[in-house]
Amino acid sequence: MQEPFDIEIGPINYSVFPEGNDSYTIFKDGKEYIQIQKDTSSIWLKMDYKTELPIFEEDEEVNAIGQAIENYVPEPEDKEEDEL
């Protein structure tokens, strides 16, 4: 499973925690913000906290976060850390 990572969209930093099956929990300003899931190649859906079902309405911020997740490239591990 993929490790958590950070993304930046404009001036906002988000922490992304992969949950599996193209689902992610997103933190903003150190607090749990939303859960999102990939629907199609360009559409991401926000999940309802109570029912855990997708909310089928287009959300620009959710799609921007999803695109940033897709474009994220993990940084290579430091070789020095591996040697410790």
C-alpha distances in angstroms, 63 versus 2, 38, 77? 20, 9, 29
How far is residue 57 CA from its own chain's centroid?
A: 18
Q: How many domains does the chain have?
A: 1
Flag whether 80 is in a domain. Answer: no
Confidence category of residue 36, pLDDT binned at 50, 70, 90: very high
Q: Give the integer Cα–Cα distance in Å for 73 and 60.
A: 22
Flag whether 45 is in a domain. Answer: yes
Q: Domain range holding 57?
A: 5-71
Predicted model pTM: 0.84
Output 24-33 pairs: Cβ under 8 A, ≥24 positions apart: 24/69, 26/65
3-state secondary structure of 15: strand
Q: Give the integer Cα–Cα distance in Å for 84 and 62.
A: 39
pLDDT in tens, 46-74: 999 899 899 998 899 999 999 999 999 88
